[in-house]
Amino acid sequence: MGAEDAEPENRRADMLRDRGSWRLLFGQVRPHRKALVLGASLSLVGTFAGLAMPILAKSVIDAFGKGADLVGPLAGLSLAVLAGALIAAWGRFLLERMAEGIVLATRTSLVERILRLKVPDVDRLKPGDLLSRVSSDTTLLRAVYTEALAGSVGSVFMFLGAVVLMAIMDGLLLLVTLGVVALVALMGLAIAPRIRRASLGAQVALGEMGSVLDRALQAFRTVKASGAESREIAAVSGAATRARDRGVTAAAWTSVAGTGAWMSVQLAFIAVLGVGGARVASGAMEVSALIAFLLYLFYLVSPIGQLIQSLTQLQVAMAAIIRIQEVTALDSEPAASGGAGPARARMPVDVRFDDVVFRYGDDRPVVHDQVSFEVPAGGMTALVGPSGAGKTTVFGLIERFYEPQAGTILVGGRDIREWPLGDLRAALGYVEQDAPVLAGTFRENLVFGAPDVTEGEIAQALARTRLDDLVERLPAGLETPVGHRGVLLSGGERQRVAIARALLRRPSLLLLDEATSQLDAVNELRLREVVAEVARETTVLVIAHRLSTVTGADRIIVMEAGRVRASGTHEELVDADDLYRELAATQFLVSS
Ligand code: ADP
Ligand code: MG
């Protein structure tokens, strides 16, 4: 664990040094300038009303000494306290509201960045951790804009105000006070980075907790079937415990800072009492002046406590910003991606791979030796070959989820890099290998890729995929929920929902990745007819494990280990290609 952690920690430290985090933290305030200025000003007015308190108290004491009327001074004192409190509360509310707005904006833009990330980045990231960055890290920003930002503005003014007033009253006592205060400030500066590191550790651990829990929930049945509940519980609570430990460390440093601040107040109080008392005794100072000075002492020291607290909150927020920034620093796809809904009545398009080379990472190419093949417009072409041959990867390249290292891919005669990404994807219908079904209702799943289809089109797609009987039997018909990841449906039903969803997009090119692997013989036969029907108006490219699905294809491309071995019709390949003949023989399509 430790060795793995060292590298990201360094990277985080670098990020902090580059001023990006600060810019991100305070750039957010820009749209809320008015609220910030108004809120902070009101807080300030409240502060100054508070500052008048000791002076008014002094006049009450003086009036008392002279035996004069107390009502006026006492009324002034009460009014100042009340008005100060009300104004400060109003300012505080404005700042809180602003902070909520900033958290909302941060969440929205973070979610936008996440959904526009590139596929290879998301392959790497953990969903549970991303979720915790959106929900928990953004929440930590809040305190910066309320307490820390506004609080420190108020505190600085209160501190300066107190210093000026105390300087006017007694310069010597002020120096005594400031000496004590400087010690506290130094201590605060030393502690701040420790709080930041501990908070960052706590947030990282929370992210880990999210991703472990996410893993367990994604494979819930496998966890149970493997008897792995206790181990998963231990892994989740292990991460939670690490979060607690780091949280405790942060709390320890926070309380050291708080205690230091509190003790310094006492220290300054005793020092001023000693020095001031001596001066009162020698007649150099009035008692009421000493009392007023001691009151101001609290006005001087309490903003220091507040500043230390602000500094703490700022450190926690910096830790959160670093984690948010790790996501926003990643490249995103162009904003128009997936924008345009599919147009109606499209023309079928052809596909061509010219000398394409692709590898996922730095290791050996998955698609290599300059793969070239052609899929004519219209009709059905099949991609077959052993598992791991690179068939699914070919689909990923056509969708532009991944960029090839060499060669060109043409769709409709046009290099896919020249297609606007949104248009390219709108022209494609894609059924993924594991046919994902989304949490939501049956209908939401069907119209997911084509929100404006008519009821008639939905009915047609249901009939084509033989889902009509099922939907009729369901208690709420199309409005029936399908569970998260479609768990309330069978594997074959999920595949048919995915196919219906792709068909409703009326794609120019339909990509089916082992889309019928889980269907029973009757439904598969039926869907083969549907695909043949669709192939009259669309180009259909199917990956099939069962060769029986593709014997009728216009053209079959045989892939093996990232290469195209052969292509032709079923009959041609049985004659010409050993691998294909072998595959066909094991599936009882020809006698060996
Ligand atoms: P097929 O669909 O023909 O079974 P794939 O295209 O899924 O094969 O995979 C081809 C090879 O690429 C396999 O060796 C697989 O391990 C690897 N591979 C697939 N997806 C990824 C990925 N996202 N990152 C790294 N390697 C991958
Ligand atoms: Mg595959």
Q: pLDDT value at position 5?
A: 44
Residues 283-319: tens digit of each pLDDT: 888 888 888 888 888 777 777 777 877 888 888 888 8
SS3 label, residue 556: strand
Ligand nearest to the CA of 434: 2
Residue type, 524: E
431 alpha carbon – ligand 1 mean position (Å): 17
Of 448, 519, 432, 527, which Cα lies nearest the Cα of 482? 448
Kindly state if the Cβ of 393 falls inside 6 Å of ligand 1: yes
Average pLDDT, the chain: 85
547 alpha carbon – ligand 2 mean position (Å): 15
The best mutation among 353, 366, 402 to test binding of ligand 1, ranked by most ligand atoms within 8 Å of the C-beta, falls on: 366
Residues 423-470: tens digit of each pLDDT: 999 999 999 988 788 888 999 999 998 888 999 999 999 999 989 999
- Give the chain's length: 592
Q: Is the pLDDT of residue 324 over 60?
A: yes
Of 560, 534, 548, 549, which Cα lies nearest the Cα of 585? 548
Q: Is the pLDDT of residue 96 over 70?
A: yes
| Six token digits for residue 239 | 């991460």
Tokens 């010409």 -> residue: 576
Tokens 């008005």 -> residue: 83
- Please report which confidence band the pLDDT of residue 592 belongs to, taking 50, 70 and 90 as the band edges: low
Residue type, 70: L
Q: pLDDT value at position 7?
A: 46
Q: Which helix (H) or strand (E) holds 244?
A: helix 229-281
For residues 33 and 27, what is the distance between their CA atoms, to the nearest angstrom? 10
- Please report which confidence band the pLDDT of residue 240 belongs to, taking 50, 70 and 90 as the band edges: very high
Q: pLDDT value at position 192?
A: 81
393 alpha carbon – ligand 2 mean position (Å): 7
Going by CA atoms, what residue is nearest to atom 25 of ligand 1?
360
Residues 11-66: tens digit of each pLDDT: 555 555 556 777 777 787 888 888 888 888 887 787 777 777 777 788 788 888 78
389 alpha carbon – ligand 1 mean position (Å): 8
For residues 533 and 405, what is the distance between their CA atoms, to the nearest angstrom? 36
Least confident of 81-90, 404-413, 581-590: 581-590
Span 122-148, average pLDDT: 86
Q: pLDDT value at position 335?
A: 63
Give me the sheet containing 379-384, strands edge to edge. 428-431, 509-513, 539-543, 379-384, 555-560, 563-568
Active site residues: 514
SS3 label, residue 48: helix
The CB-side HSE value for 402 (13 A sphere, CA atoms) comes to 21
Residues 253-291: tens digit of each pLDDT: 988 888 887 787 788 888 888 988 998 999 888 888 888
For residues 19 and 22, what is the distance between their CA atoms, to the nearest angstrom? 5
Going by CA atoms, what residue is nearest to atom 7 of ligand 1?
392
Kindly state if the Cβ of 28 falls inside 6 Å of ligand 1: no
Span 541-559, average pLDDT: 90
Residue 514 CA, closest ligand 1 atom number? 2
Ligand nearest to the CA of 124: 1
| Six token digits for residue 487 | 């768990």
585 against 52, higher pLDDT: 585
Residue 576 and residue 590 in contact, taking contact as beta carbons nearer than 8 Å: no
| Six token digits for residue 357 | 């080379």
Least confident of 56-65, 194-203, 213-222, 376-385: 56-65
In 116-170, which ranges are continuous DSSP H helix? 119-124, 127-132, 138-143, 149-169
Q: Please state the φ and ψ torsions of residue 296, each to the nearest 5 degrees.
A: -65, -30
208 against 16, higher pLDDT: 208
545 alpha carbon – ligand 2 mean position (Å): 9
The best mutation among 119, 121, 393, 564 to test binding of ligand 1, ranked by most ligand atoms within 8 Å of the C-beta, falls on: 393
Q: Is the pLDDT of residue 385 over 70?
A: yes
SS3 label, residue 19: coil
Sketch out the chain's domains with CATH numbers: 18-328 (1.20.1560.10), 346-426+538-592 (3.40.50.300), 428-506 (3.40.50.300)
Span 340-350, average pLDDT: 67
Ligand nearest to the CA of 432: 2
Q: pLDDT value at position 532?
A: 87
Residue 383 and residue 543 in contact, taking contact as beta carbons nearer than 8 Å: yes
- Percent of the chain predicted with pLDDT > 90: 33
Kindly state if the Cβ of 383 falls inside 6 Å of ligand 1: no
Residues 355-369: tens digit of each pLDDT: 999 988 877 777 776
- Please report which confidence band the pLDDT of residue 339 belongs to, taking 50, 70 and 90 as the band edges: very low
